[in-house]
Amino acid sequence: MTLIDKKLNRRSFLKVSTLAGGGMMLSFSWLAGCKPTPEQVLTMPKEWFEINSYIKIGENGAVTLFNPNPEFGSNVKTSLPMLLAEELDVDWKNVFVEQADFYPKRFERQFTGGSQGIRSGWVPLRTAGATARQLLVNAAAQTWNVPATEITTNTGYLEHKGSGNRAGYGEVASLAGTLEAPDPETVKLKDISEFKIIGNSKKNVDGSKIVTGKPMYAMDHKVEGMKYAAIVHPPAFGMKIKSFDEASVTSLPGIQDVFSIKLFKEGFERHAFDTTTFPEIIAIVGNSTWEVMQAKKALKADWEIAPESNFKMSGWGPDVSEVKVPSGLENSSTHSEKMAEYITKPGNILRKDGDPEGAFKKASRVIERTYTAPFLAHNPMEPINCFADVKGDKAIIYGPSQIPDFIHGTVANSLGLEKENVQINLARMGGGFGRRAYSHHLTEAALISQRIQAPVKMVYTREDDMTAGVYRPTYSATYRAALDENNNLLALHVKAGGIPESPIHANRFPAGAIDNYLAEGWQIESNITIGAFRAPRSNFIAGAEQSFLDELAEEMGKDPIEFRLELLKRAETNPVGKDNDYDPKRYAGVLELVRDKSNWSNVPNGISRGVSAYFCHNSYVAEVVDVSIKDNQPVVENVYAAVDCGIVVNPDAAANMGEGAIIDGIGNAFYGEMAFENGAPTKRNFDTYRMIRHSEAPKKIEVHFVDNKEDPTGLGEPLFPPVFAALGNSLYKATGKRLYDQPFQPQLIDMKNLRM
């Protein structure tokens, strides 16, 4: 048994009675039931009893568990309730799962991003389950008049051997709901060896709804009297609205109104996640989506160059910073030129070990390579949209948001309402990938609804979505290695930056493994908005670093896995410098596992193979990609991944997400690219922005997890960064051509001259 973390916040264990009357339950149907599905073994109970914020139990033993975090496809809606169910000790088939709305008084961390869902829920949610179980035990003890310590539980049942008493949870739930919650510090959690649910795959709790097309997304939401809204934003970064002609659309069929909205009040101190490209946009309101989309095309609007602007930002760390938005219409060709200047310009020193300059002077050979990657659009399958109903001093918002907490204050401020009167309900999201961490669309829909004093659903077209910014930045990294006459590695130098941020994680591998090491960063300002994109920064730097190490291994005449293992051995036994933020042993562990699972040195006929490994979000991943060449084009045959993310809660779902991250990586490596001409994105929809499709997916993906007892770490992101280099390195083997610039595919179109 493990004692739980003493620092645990008590908020999760508050009773609903202390909150009732707070006026917050605008739509939060706390004790109302969810609809039973045919597979459910138990029928809906007549009455639910609340045990704590996450758990209610019916008189018949049915259990409802609330998933606190927003669901965007990483399956937290299944895996987080599994943590509750494990410690509550119930039969998973008697569990209903409901999505909690945004409710900060009840739930501590309603946040999907940074691969932290399971990691941060690991202790609090198991504790919530264990505390609820203890309440049921206490209720049984009271009922039977026996000591609580003599009562045992077994999948939904309580038993007292001495007296022969036995009862289902449902029989004592009503009493348990009235008892004082035990101090979480006194509640013990199960030992790993006692787990029955954690580690055993459970199907997606929304699976049946998804395959039958039930409404689940904000896009599907509809209420009586709801209006539809489309938006029009300036056509380019660095432009703003000059004027628009209302009459050009108001007479069109089904159109009710057209007006502009300003997202922020004058002088508002923005939150770091308030990122939006266009703080003023035009809204067209009407009777149906199609009508407002048609009016969008007809709207006559004039745009002008936006001057340089500034705003204050807080909410990310203690400081308020001044953010400058430069003026100008930017071009991808200029971006590339400016980034290339940094190959020779000095950057900011982020880490230095030993005497790298001296080692480079002594070197008998220096290898230098520069890697680049373009801006990327997130392109979640469900375009940006949001439902809002603002009337008088109350607002209800139902929207796709990864982090409602970060936008809550902004929405309230823009509406001029009290935060307590702005209720955000959480819709299932049709993908996120970081894009919906920036929830400006919630403010937009709310302002439109407030203006028309009616419920509204605002829908971006795919073009609006793709051209509204908040992209993955463009990056460049130059790696240099100094070798002596015997091909020993003397020093490594990385200088990397981007528009507008550097991708360097200075204390990650290979820092700590090389005596003379130098990391420099730089950034170039821009008015193109950027944001988190699956494994921010890692998603570029992993590809550059692991491609360079591959080339270096070849130059040094070493097997690429062996070379990495040698470096990791050095970092483990005699680490260089301080603050190395990875565990070399676990890092080596995934390389060894992937070597084993892919049968690394036994390359099948017609296959070319590449490897890569990376550490991010507290997890370690190594990947091997196999490609073949058919009709002069590369085909990805197999991908083997070895993952160390600690205990895996829901293995099959975890594998699914890993497969998705790998396919995502292959797609972006081959095709992903956003470019700009005079500030305007050159790609607006999937006809020009190429996405990976069925025929381009690997034929086989194997995701292997290291079996260990470490607490769980991140999973949604860590399988993504290593793919780029594993693919690039396998393509080199197949074609004889090293690929330094993403996307790869345009460089492979004419492969006739390549070695094959």
Q: By the criterion CB under 6 A, which residues form the site for ligand FES?
A: 73, 381, 431
Dihedral in degrees, nearest 10, Cα atoms 129, 133, 139, 140: 160
**What do you get for the CA distance between the two ends of the chain, in Å?**
58
Task: Find the binder of other proteins among 167, 282, 284, 429 (CB under 8 A).
Answer: 429
634 is a contact residue toward other proteins (CB under 8 A)? no
- Shortest distance, position 717 Cβ to other proteins, whole Å: 13
The CA distance from 25 to 514, in Å, is 58
Return the axis-axis angle of helices 76-88 and 117-144, rounded to nearest 10°. Answer: 30
From the list ligand FES, other proteins, none, partner contacted by residue 162 (C-beta under 5 to 8 A by kind): none
Q: Which is nearer to other proteins, 402 or 729 (CB)?
A: 402
Report the SS3 class of residue 729.
helix
- Shortest distance, position 125 Cβ to other proteins, whole Å: 21
Report the SS3 class of residue 635.
strand
216 is a contact residue toward other proteins (CB under 8 A)? yes
- Shortest distance, position 210 Cβ to ligand FES, whole Å: 8
Q: Which is nearer to ligand FES, 195 or 217 (CB)?
A: 217
Please name which of 464, 446, 471 lies closest in space to residue 383, comparing C-alpha atoms. Answer: 464
23-52 binders of other proteins (CB under 8 A) = 38
From the list other proteins, ligand FES, none, partner contacted by residue 383 (C-beta under 5 to 8 A by kind): other proteins
In 429-560, at which residue ranges do the beta strands (DSSP E only) sit?
Answer: 456-459, 474-483, 489-499, 516-523
633 is a contact residue toward other proteins (CB under 8 A)? no
Task: Find the binder of other proteins among 104, 235, 500, 660 (CB under 8 A).
Answer: 660
Spatial contact of 403 and 271, defined as CB atoms under 8 Å apart: no
Q: Which is nearer to other proteins, 458 or 491 (CB)?
A: 458
Strand-strand pairing, 348-353 and 456-459? unpaired
The CA distance from 463 to 629, in Å, is 35
From the list other proteins, ligand FES, none, partner contacted by residue 290 (C-beta under 5 to 8 A by kind): other proteins
Task: Find the binder of other proteins among 15, 109, 203, 338 (CB under 8 A).
Answer: 203
From the list ligand FES, other proteins, none, partner contacted by residue 747 (C-beta under 5 to 8 A by kind): none
Q: Which residue is nearest to ligand FES (CB)?
A: 381
Q: Which is nearer to other proteins, 265 or 693 (CB)?
A: 693
> Taking the mean position of all CA atoms in its chain, how far away is CA 685?
22
Strand-strand pairing, 157-160 and 165-168? antiparallel
Amino acid 379 reads N
Dihedral in degrees, nearest 10, Cα atoms 652, 72, 542, 337: 150
685 is a contact residue toward other proteins (CB under 8 A)? yes
Q: Which is nearer to other proteins, 125 or 655 (CB)?
A: 655
From the list other proteins, ligand FES, none, partner contacted by residue 699 (C-beta under 5 to 8 A by kind): other proteins
User: What is the phi-psi region of residue 251: left when phi exceeds 0, alpha when psi lies from -120 to 50, beta otherwise?
Assistant: alpha
434-493 binders of other proteins (CB under 8 A) = 459, 461-462
Q: Which is nearer to ligand FES, 529 or 650 (CB)?
A: 650
The first and second tokens of residue 122, run together, are: 């690991």
The CA distance from 447 to 395, in Å, is 10
289 is a contact residue toward other proteins (CB under 8 A)? yes
Binding flags for other proteins, 66-85, as an x/- string (CB under 8 A): ------xxxx----------
346 is a contact residue toward other proteins (CB under 8 A)? no
Spatial contact of 106 and 19, defined as CB atoms under 8 Å apart: yes
Cα-atom radius of gyration of the chain, to the nearest Å? Answer: 28
Cis, peptide link before residue 743, omega less than 30° from 0:
yes
- Shortest distance, position 72 Cβ to ligand FES, whole Å: 9
Identify which range of 95-103, 282-290, 306-314, 476-484 contacts other proteins by CB under 8 A.
282-290
- Shortest distance, position 291 Cβ to other proteins, whole Å: 7
Phi, psi of 642 (to 5 degrees): -120, 130
> Taking the mean position of all CA atoms in its chain, how far away is CA 644?
18
- Shortest distance, position 652 Cβ to ligand FES, whole Å: 15
143 is a contact residue toward other proteins (CB under 8 A)? no
Place of tokens 């709801």: 226
Helices (H), 611-742: 651-670, 721-735
665-684 binders of other proteins (CB under 8 A) = 667
697 is a contact residue toward other proteins (CB under 8 A)? yes
Applying CB under 8 A, the site for other proteins has a residue count of 69
- Shortest distance, position 376 Cβ to ligand FES, whole Å: 16
Within a 10 A sphere around the Cβ of 27, how many other Cβ atoms? 11
213 is a contact residue toward other proteins (CB under 8 A)? yes
From the list other proteins, ligand FES, none, partner contacted by residue 701 (C-beta under 5 to 8 A by kind): other proteins
Phi, psi of 547 (to 5 degrees): -75, -40
At CA 274, angle to CA 674 and CA 241, rounded to 5? 70
Identify which range of 373-381, 559-567, 569-577, 745-753 contacts other proteins by CB under 8 A.
373-381
From the list other proteins, ligand FES, none, partner contacted by residue 316 (C-beta under 5 to 8 A by kind): none
Question: Across the strands, what pairs with 397?
Answer: 388, 424
Provide the binding-site residues for other proteins, judged by CB under 8 A. 38, 72-75, 201, 203-204, 206-208, 210-217, 219-220, 222, 228, 253-254, 288-291, 293-294, 379-383, 428-433, 459, 461-462, 652-653, 656-657, 659-664, 667, 685-687, 691-695, 697-701
